[in-house]
Structure 1
Amino acid sequence: MSNCVVMLKAELVTLSFVHTIGSILPNDGNNIICRWLLNHDQVWFRSDAMCPIGAKASRSVSYRRLFDQRALMLSDPIDVAMISRSLPPYRVYVHRRIVEGIPQINLHSLVTHALHRWNCPPPDEIRPMEFGDEGPDRNKITLGTLLRDWQRAGRIIDWIGKSNIRAVIVEGYFDLARLRILHWCHRTGLPCFLTGDSNIRGDTAGFPKSWLKRIVVSRVVSWVQGVMPCGTLGEAYFLKYGADPKRVFYYSREPDCEMIQQLPLDVIARTQKEFGLHNDRRRIVYCGRLVPIKRVDLAIDAFAAIARDRPQWDLVVIGDGQCEDELKKRVPSDLHDRVIWTGFIADPQQIAAIYRASDILVLPSDFEPWALVVLEAAAAEMAIISSYAVAAAAEVVREGVNGGIFDVGDLDGLIQRMQTVTQDDRIDDMKAASAQLLNDWRTRADPVEALREALKTVGVLGPEDPDLHPVAS
């Protein structure tokens, strides 16, 4: 410990010297000194977040932040905030993985809107905090919602300022609260990263919306030290709006794959009994909201087209929504007993049990920014049939290997792939292939590693301690 004290005292002397010289030199000269200090023998402090430095007050704050970072590297865990609109189960799972995988940080899960929408409350280990409910008009943009968003951002900013937060990760930018936080981080020099499920295949707006979007999104991207997209289509989206290719970190939204794969057999059996899923039947599953953009009508029509040739197959529809009555009427009368409607299911284990008892996931959506259900299905070793607009399918679905991808709205293309994937001599091989494709993707896009590497680029994390991450012999 005495060596640490000596190092810190030496650094204080160095910082005092730099501050004295910096007060004499013009800004450009001061930038040179700052950059030299950040790189000389301290490669993990090469962040541009603290440079360039303007007024004397800014220099003092920046130097103090540099000193505080070095002190924290030598003692306590570093506080990092992840800010999102809500905490659904998949996000809780990823945050728990981060807490376990990066012990050098204290993760704080801050929620701008809804914390308790799901049955399972978030665990204390991710330090959840809520900064206001969604309000009665949560799906509308009104003066009331804008004012509430502005105020909740102010409360979060105030909390960050009092809590010694060293880096912020903001999940999405589609409300005023998160936009204000992103801009505040940029203005104050607090390292900030942007993650989200943006998808280049959905970026089809025409003028003038496309013009306005380019102005806003490009500005947001310029405010952050890096972007953390879910996958390749998200990367393409952020690169279009000016992201630095060297500061892109794949931060995949992923389900609790271990829960799905290790689900007890008695849970699967109980769920099958509850929903009438017999062991001697094969099943195609749709899981999601019953709304127009999901195009469940295509799934029903395609199933009706192959049903006579595939008498051992059923269609299971998980979810509810505004189109439910109209979709039920769409099912031909002779197929009513072969299309099973479960309604909305809140228990993730029950959904996983249906996956495990089934064979194919179908997702015919006109657009899906990501689609967590695709990774859930792959974890359950299901074959997958998806539209071209589904971002997650671009990562874990390969035509003819573990399913197929058809053009948006193409009923004939969907029918063709259903006919192919449901063949008796192909279905089991395709199901098995999904597990390997998912494992490959999770290796490439581990959100824990993405966050670790991002924090290194801004000096929040330094060289790894081999005792925390031992190398296998």
Structure 2
Amino acid sequence: MSLRVLILTWEYPPIVEGGLARHVRKLSEAMVREGVEVHVLTRGDDSVPAEADQHGVIVHRVREPTRPRDLSEFVTWVEHMNTDMVAAGVELGDRLEFDLVHGHDWLVGPACDHLAKRFSCPMVATIHATEYGRHQGWVDKHPQSWIHGVEKWMVHRADRVITCSHYMQGHVADIFGIEEARVTVIPNGIDPLDLQPVDDLATLRANFAKPDERLVILVGRLVYEKGFQLALEALVPIVRDLQDVRFLVAGSGTHEAELRAQATELGLDDHGTFLGWIGDDVLHSLYRIADLCVIPSLYEPFGLVALEAMASGCPCIVADTGGLREVVPPGERVGLRFNGGDAEHLGVMIERLLTDAPLRDRLVTEASEHVLRFDWQDIGRQTAALYAELHRTPV
């Protein structure tokens, strides 16, 4: 008999705030192919049906609460969403018998707890990142302190915790005070077929660089912990000494204004472009037209941008920190690493890779094989096996 599971997430395509939505979709579809009956409980708006079969995954949506105007109202918004999810989950439980509840990140923690207790079934929590890590340990003020508290409670409440890297396994066990044995490492995945570029890459590249210029890209949320400020600092001697280098910053976030101001102060305005938020087709195209992708994170649970770059044939340089160490292992085989937080060392590595074409070609070739280790079907198989193990264990 196949397992029937209820997955809770605050976003699911086509409602996409970030990488979480894509992760849950790919994982859910992979588990359906493994014979698991997957129901996803998430939020939605008038553009999506309240219930639909999306590639074998049954998606149930609660109407999204009015979006908060600022961070101070976000906690209330999350509480409202959880209340609505509990009501919808109870109704689902009256129609269907669920074997397990799986919540993704703290935003759905309270609803997961309530429904798992009501269904008398195990609860799994995937912790994709922590508030402690995002803020370098500064979680003494609201709402960071509240979010940190919810994460700690959720980790202790769950029958099993999943993290995307061994780094995150140790991080979660350390800051929340639980045994590492309660934390299972199942990595994120990538499907190279999802990385579809626009049709005319030559025209796209011409918008940002001349044929004889080299293009460096920075991709991700523009927040402090992504370390883009280090990359801008590192680029100053590069554009001065090599002269034919341009850069692109693709993304938006709370640190965007500071980064733009920094670029102006460093004299970089004539050497690059801030694109802001862009759609997936353009994003995936940037990897194809770039000569180098830099991932300079100060805190990084996994490193999906590095995987996307490698799968798209773009060599990458990553910070020697967090989950990036597992995505880009040592040895300069699939990518280069620099000392995390060290802009000068990053500059040295950027110049090395931009001026060494054989090295770039070798990294691209090796990386194309390396990314196959992060196959969604294997990740779905691992997750389904964990579900089966918990289902056999009395709650």
| TM-score, normalised relative to structure 2 | 0.79
Q: Which amino acid aligns with 1:329?
A: T
Rounded to whole Å, the distance in 2 between the matches of 1:394 and 1:300 is 25
Q: Is 1:329 the equivalent of 2:329?
A: no
2:217 corresponding residue in structure 1: 285
**What is the distance in 1 between the residues matched to 2:205 and 2:319?**
28
> Which residue matches 2:300?
368
Q: Counterparts of 2:389 and 2:98 in 1: how far apart (Å)? A: 16
After TM superposition, the structure 1 stretch with the greater mean CA deviation from structure 2, 106-115 or 451-460, is: 106-115
Match of 1:427 in 2: 360
- Tell whether 2:160 aligns with 1:226: yes
Residues 166 and 341 of structure 1: is their aligned pair in 2 closer, same or farther, counting only changes over 3 Å? same
Task: Determine if the alignment matches structure 1 residue 83 to structure 2 residue 8.
Answer: yes
Compute the displacement of 1:172 (Å): 0.8
* Greater mean alpha carbon deviation, residues 158-167 or residues 320-329: 320-329
Map Cα deviations across residues 442-462 of structure 1 (whole Å, 9 max, x no partner): 16994202211112202379x
The answer to whether the Cα contact below 8 Å between 2:227 and 2:296 also exists between their aligned partners in 1 is: yes
Q: 2:348 aligns with which of 407, 412, 416?
A: 416
Alignment equivalent of 1:259, drawn from 183, 194, 211:
194
1:238 aligns with 2:168: no
Letter in 2 for 1:287: V
Rounded to whole Å, the distance in 2 between the matches of 1:144 and 1:212 is 12
Matches within 5 A, 1:133-212: 133-137=64-68, 139-141=71-73, 144-145=76-77, 147-162=79-94, 163-173=96-106, 175=107, 177-186=108-117, 189-198=120-129, 205=137
Question: SS of the counterpart of 1:362?
Answer: strand
- Amino acid of the residue matched to residue 185 of structure 1? A
- Do the aligned partners of residues 313 and 193 (structure 1) sit closer, same or farther apart at CA in structure 2, a change above 3 Å counting? same
Q: Is the alpha carbon distance of 1:400 and 1:100 closer, same or farther for their aligned partners in structure 2, counting shifts above 3 Å?
A: same
User: More displaced, 280-289 or 385-394?
Assistant: 385-394
Mark the runs of 5 or more structure 2 residues left unpaired by the alignment.
none
Q: How far apart, CA to CA, are the structure 2 residues paired with 1:206 and 1:340?
A: 32
- Cα deviation, 1:141-173, whole Å, max 9, x if unaligned, reads 467436514422422431342222221111012
Matched residue count: 373
Contact 2:238 2:347 in 1 (8 A): yes
Distance 1:271 1:143, change over 3 A: closer
In the alignment, is the contact (CA less than 8 A) between 1:112 and 1:130 conserved in 2? Answer: yes
Q: Which residue of 2 aligns with 1:101?
A: 33
Aligned-pair identity in percent equals: 18
Question: Separation in 2 of the partners of 1:122 and 1:115?
Answer: 17
Match of residue 271 from structure 1: 204
- C-alpha contact (below 8 Å) 2:306/2:327 kept by paired residues: no
Which of 230, 243, 263 aligns to 1:298? It is 230
**Residue equivalent to 1:46:** none
Instruction: Read off the aligned partner of 2:172 and give its amino acid letter.
Output: F
SS of 1:127's equivalent in the other structure is strand
8 Å contact kept, 1:297–1:330: no
Q: Distance in 1 between matches of 2:369 and 2:332?
A: 15
Aligned-pair distance for 1:229?
0.8
CA distance in structure 2 between the partners assigned to 1:107 and 1:436 by the alignment: 31
CA distance in 2, matches of 1:271, 1:123: 32
3-state SS in 2 of match to 1:386? strand
Task: Measure the CA separation in 1 of the matches of 2:332 and 2:9.
Answer: 37
Structure 1 residues 249 and 78, CA gap change in structure 2 (3 angstroms): same
Task: Select the residue among 330, 353, 375 that pairs with 1:398.
Answer: 330
Which secondary structure state, in structure 2, belongs to the residue aligned with residue 161 of structure 1?
A: helix
- Structure 2 counterpart of 1:135, one-letter code: T
> In the aligned structure 2, how far is the partner of 1:343 from the partner of 1:443?
30
**Equivalent pair of 1:255/1:375 in contact (CA under 8 Å):** yes
Q: Is the partner of 1:320 in helix, strand or coil?
A: coil
Equivalent residue of 1:148, what SS?
helix
Residue 132 of structure 1 deviates from its aligned partner by 3.1
C-alpha deviation, 1:417, in angstroms: 1.8
CA contact 1:232–1:395 (8 Å) conserved in 2 = no
Q: Which amino acid aligns with 2:312?
A: A
CA positional deviation for 1:352: 1.2
Answering whether residue 58 of structure 2 is matched by residue 127 of structure 1, we say yes
Distance 2:55 2:111 in 1: 27
For residues 105-143 of structure 1, what are the alpha-carbon distances to aligned partners after superposition, in whole Å with 9 as ceiling and x for unaligned? Answer: 2211211477979xxx99353222222315232733467
Mapping of residues 313-328 of structure 1, within 5 Å: 313-321=245-253, 322-323=256-257, 325-328=260-263
Give the number of the structure whose alpha-carbon radius of gyration is greater.
1
The offset of 1:285, in angstroms, is 0.7
After TM superposition, give the deviation of residue 303 of structure 1 in Å: 1.5
The offset of 1:84, in angstroms, is 0.8
Offset, 1:253 = 2.9
Give the partner amino acid of 1:190. Answer: C
Describe the SS at the equivalent of 1:401.
Answer: coil
Relative to structure 1, the CA distance from residue 214 to residue 386 in structure 2 (aligned partners, 3 Å threshold; closer, same or farther) is same
Q: CA deviation at 1:305?
A: 0.9
